Amino acid sequence: MAVTKRTPLPVAEAVNKILNHTRLWGIEKISINECDNRILAEDLTATHDVPPFNRSPYDGFAIRSEDTKHASLDHPITLNVVETIGAGQVAEHEVKSGMAVRIMTGAKIPEGADAVIMLELVKERVADNKNQIIIKRSVKKDENISFQGEDTQEGTLLVKAGTKITPGIVAILATFGYHRISVYKQPVVGILSTGTELLDVNEELQPGKIRNSNAYMCAAQVRAMGAKIKLYQHREDNFDSLYKNIKEALQETDVLITTGGVSVGDYDFLPEIYKKLGAEVLFNKVAMRPGSVTTVAVYEDKWLFGLSGNPSACFVGAELFVRPVILKGMSVLKPHCKVTKALLSKDFPKPNPFTRFVRAILSEDIDGNVVTPAGLDKSSSVSSLIEANCLIVLPGGTRGWETGSEVGVITWHGEGSEWPWDHPLFSKSSAIKTVEKQR
Amino acid sequence: MAVTKRTPLPVAEAVNKILNHTRLWGIEKISINECDNRILAEDLTATHDVPPFNRSPYDGFAIRSEDTKHASLDHPITLNVVETIGAGQVAEHEVKSGMAVRIMTGAKIPEGADAVIMLELVKERVADNKNQIIIKRSVKKDENISFQGEDTQEGTLLVKAGTKITPGIVAILATFGYHRISVYKQPVVGILSTGTELLDVNEELQPGKIRNSNAYMCAAQVRAMGAKIKLYQHREDNFDSLYKNIKEALQETDVLITTGGVSVGDYDFLPEIYKKLGAEVLFNKVAMRPGSVTTVAVYEDKWLFGLSGNPSACFVGAELFVRPVILKGMSVLKPHCKVTKALLSKDFPKPNPFTRFVRAILSEDIDGNVVTPAGLDKSSSVSSLIEANCLIVLPGGTRGWETGSEVGVITWHGEGSEWPWDHPLFSKSSAIKTVEKQR
């Protein structure tokens, strides 16, 4: 097979090409009991005021404030307690002059009452077979009343479509009676590893072979992004059977990720398979390390991601390119990894002809974020993925970095970002300046 | 019912009382396909070297370096290509003097070869019906060989028990053949809301009533901590039936969370229920807002959490007290919320007689972390939970906080902490100092 000349695309341009092709995954209704981390496909509005009625924030007595106008230590006043209501109960009596209703936290303020006096501020007694309270201070109108709508008014927009459902949002769903919820469907992402060297995880090692780790890792990444996984049996490097496997897998998936076979070696058949399929290749080389051979193609309404067979390159490819396809398809406002900055805790002497993504451990110390490259920076390294919780992004065209340099970092944890690639620390000019400043 | 005097315990002491009673949840074996976010119950060690054999990091030709000792532009040398191997294939020939094997990335270095020259550095030709390469430079011994064990050596401890399984760790599991994995069992956490005011999420509003949001919210929180949920029908405030419901629920759960009924009102039956059960109450008042009436008890080997019926208090109680019980039971090294510091973006004028937990939004700007209180700070407020991603922790005995003050913040996202409560920003003395510094 001829070695084809490929033009490397800057990362931001590659991602942009992808964004131009994303489509929505559709909507489904699910139960509140199964909506954790799903993405809302409808705006949530308050279907009633909160509180829905005037209520008592304390245990106490609902009274008419004017009855207490002249109450004092020297001139206590006495009210007759006509009934007791707990939360969820509604008073039978209207509170008239001289009357009080014993009321518990959360209960509805009875008709006629315009204030609540707390339990500990009254003296209770029984006189003439009547329950009475003695009050030695005046109580202001509206005192200790939580008013209808003071937290939230009916019709208020509370949560926008495209938001991930957190426990706090589950509370909103329950409060306002959303027991079935419109959420975006989860796309079906197929994962098919290629490579004659691959064994399955339950197979014994054989000479020249390694176990397939990419498929399982990538599946875990993509499940964390909120998609469903269809894991295919890994396949040998054989053009005809691979073509058939991929064509079949495309029938039952929205996105098909392959790992391996995407470079320019004798057994790298993916480029030819894209051609035979008639898929539109958006790019087949990215100005990045690892994963420069990452290829993305579209075929009818399906996506084809040709990730590198190297575990670290595969990991980076999924976070950079697969993530926005899945999340933009659910209208998520921040479909990309989040950017932050940190001080480099170790020298990183390698030159970076392309943008380099270094697996690293981001932590916080007294002075802020610190980032440490995780293990070996070889694209074949598996052990460096163990503790890595971020990727240091070193701009292409830089020569190496010293301890204490400020670097940009992307993480796949948390809320994501709208567009990370404009960050000033990701450009060469700011990078060089920063390094000089440190010297 | 008499108003009982309760002694408020500082938060750290309350958590400590809980930690003294935690137990392990036991171990089970699960498939690599269902292990996302589960907690390892075994150490992971490398079951073989990585790479497991000397291999080629590039597409090229495996050769004997001594054959090229005198090669140069003027004196090129010629080698016969005896075969081609891809990754996963093993060469049939030993490489002898004058021979080369065409080799693809990841393939095992053939016997006899001690270096690889990259594809682009040779000229290929066919002469005398033989495939040949012409080399115009000398190649050093060991050049372009990834050596067996250079990434990881067999027997190396890679991941410790008690670690959460991330996609990177899934890659390790697959690489080393861990297809069934020992993980900690997920405890069964029952949630039973109490309150005559409660309606279910699918019911229409009625006067004096509100929908039960606590149970659904708390279920989502506890699922995110890694436990299984058993959601019970909410119950009215009735001592006898509540006692029966709770006693039954304890038969089928490891942890039973109730919401509401835990204070000192006329319909707060939980304190009496703990007494009748014979449960050991670890504490029934905590020096915190919201949630001061939070009660934790143990009964045989079961846990009883009596959380407040106020949504925000309930939320805080689950993160502070339920979290460590679930996670310590899985040997997680950082079973508590994570601490970070941030600058307050708004005045918070309220005095804090007790430690106050303010629901807030933590974000990052150019100068570091900034935190903004979310919505109303009322313990009944539901809307303040929508965007909150952290809790500001304001030490008890402080008088109010100004914009720009440095405050301690705890979050339930990410990796957690070993023990957050010693943080200097959580103590009154440092707090006052910090505020003065800002003036």
Task: Please say if the pLDDT value at position B168 is more than 60.
Answer: yes
Check B213 against A385: CB less than 8 A apart.
Answer: no
In A, minimum Cα distance to B385 occurs at A168
Of A32, A266, A387, nearest to B86 by CB-CB distance is: A266
- The tens digit of pLDDT for each residue in B211-257 reads 999 999 999 999 999 999 999 999 999 999 999 999 999 999 999 99
Residues 201-230 of B with CB under 8 A from A: 201-205, 207-221, 223-224
Identify the DSSP state of B187: P
- The tens digit of pLDDT for each residue in B364-420 reads 877 789 999 987 555 556 778 888 999 999 999 888 889 999 999 999 998 899 999
pLDDT value at position A112? 98
In A, minimum Cα distance to B146 occurs at A380
Backbone angles phi, psi at B79, to 5 degrees: -125, 150
Say if B29-50+155-184 and B338-438 have the same CATH topology. Answer: no
Check B174 against A52: CB less than 8 A apart.
Answer: no
Of B167, B195, B388, nearest to A88 by CB-CB distance is: B195
Compute the nearest-CA separation of A289 from chain B (Å): 15
SS3 B194: strand
CA distance A210 to A309: 12
Average the pLDDT over each of A322-331, B46-55, B362-371, B385-394 and give the range with the smallest value: B362-371
Q: Is B127 on the interface with A (CB under 8 A)?
A: no
Task: Please say if the pLDDT value at position B433 is more than 50.
Answer: no
- The tens digit of pLDDT for each residue in B335-364 reads 999 999 999 999 988 888 999 999 999 998
Structural element, H or E, at residue B230: strand B228-231
Check A219 against B174: CB less than 8 A apart.
Answer: no
The CA-CA-CA angle for residues B80, B86, B89, to 5°, reads 100
DSSP letter string, A344-403: ESS-B---BSSEEEEEEEEEEETTEEEEEE-S---TT-SGGGTT--EEEEEPTTB--B-T
CA distances from B369 to A341, A352, A368, B364, B372 (A): 12, 30, 9, 4, 10
Greatest C-alpha distance within chain A? 107
Which of B150, B191, B200, B386 is most worth mutating to test chain A (most A CB atoms within 10 A of its CB)? B386
With b for 16 or more beta-carbon neighbours within 10 A and e for fewer, the B25-59 pattern comes to beeeeeebeebbebbbbeebebbbbbbbbbbbbbb
Name the class of domain A11-26+185-328: alpha beta
Confidence of residue B287 (pLDDT cuts 50, 70, 90): very high
- The tens digit of pLDDT for each residue in A111-136 reads 999 999 999 999 999 998 999 999 99
Q: Is A414 on the interface with B (CB under 8 A)?
A: yes
Residues 310-369 of A with CB under 8 A from B: 311, 315, 340, 364, 368
Q: Is B159 on the interface with A (CB under 8 A)?
A: yes
Domain boundaries, chain A: 11-26+185-328, 29-50+150-184, 60-135, 338-438
SS3 B238: coil
Task: Please say if the pLDDT value at position A381 is more than 50.
Answer: yes
Name the class of domain A29-50+150-184: alpha beta
Which of A146, A229, A386, A423 is most worth mutating to test chain B (most B CB atoms within 10 A of its CB)? A386
Q: Which residues of B touch A340 (CB under 8 A)?
A: 364
SS3 B309: coil
Name which of A426, A390, A388 is nearest A407 in CA terms: A426
Name which of B293, B307, B294, B354 is nearest B3 in CA terms: B293
pLDDT value at position B438? 44
User: A76: cis peptide before it, omega within 30°?
Assistant: no
Which of A385, A409, A410, A415 is most worth mutating to test chain B (most B CB atoms within 10 A of its CB)? A385
- Length of chain B as a residue count: 439
Check A33 against B231: CB less than 8 A apart.
Answer: yes
Task: Please say if the pLDDT value at position B333 is more than 50.
Answer: yes
CATH H superfamily, domain B29-50+155-184: Molybdopterin biosynthesis moea protein, domain 2 (3.90.105.10)
Compute the nearest-CA separation of A99 from chain B (Å): 19
pLDDT value at position B1? 42
Confidence of residue A398 (pLDDT cuts 50, 70, 90): confident
Q: What is the CATH number that goes with domain B338-438?
A: 2.40.340.10
At the topology level, CATH places domain B11-26+188-328 in Molybdenum Cofactor Biosythetic Enzyme; Chain A (3.40.980)
- Length of chain A as a residue count: 439
Give the torsion sign (CA, A424, A427, A430, A434). Answer: positive
Among 3.30.365.10, 2.170.190.11, 2.40.110.10, 1.10.3720.10, name the CATH number for the domain at A60-135.
Answer: 2.170.190.11
Query: What is the average pLDDT across B120-127?
Result: 96
Compute the nearest-CA separation of B422 from chain A (Å): 15
Give the E-state strand segments of A266-337 in sequence order: 280-283, 288-289, 295-299, 302-307
Residues 137-156 of A with CB under 8 A from B: 146, 151-152, 156
Contact between A54 and A145 under an 8 Å Cβ cutoff? The reply is yes
pLDDT value at position B306? 98
- The tens digit of pLDDT for each residue in A4-34 reads 578 899 999 999 999 999 999 999 999 999 9
Confidence of residue A378 (pLDDT cuts 50, 70, 90): low
Query: What is the average pLDDT across B267-288?
Result: 96
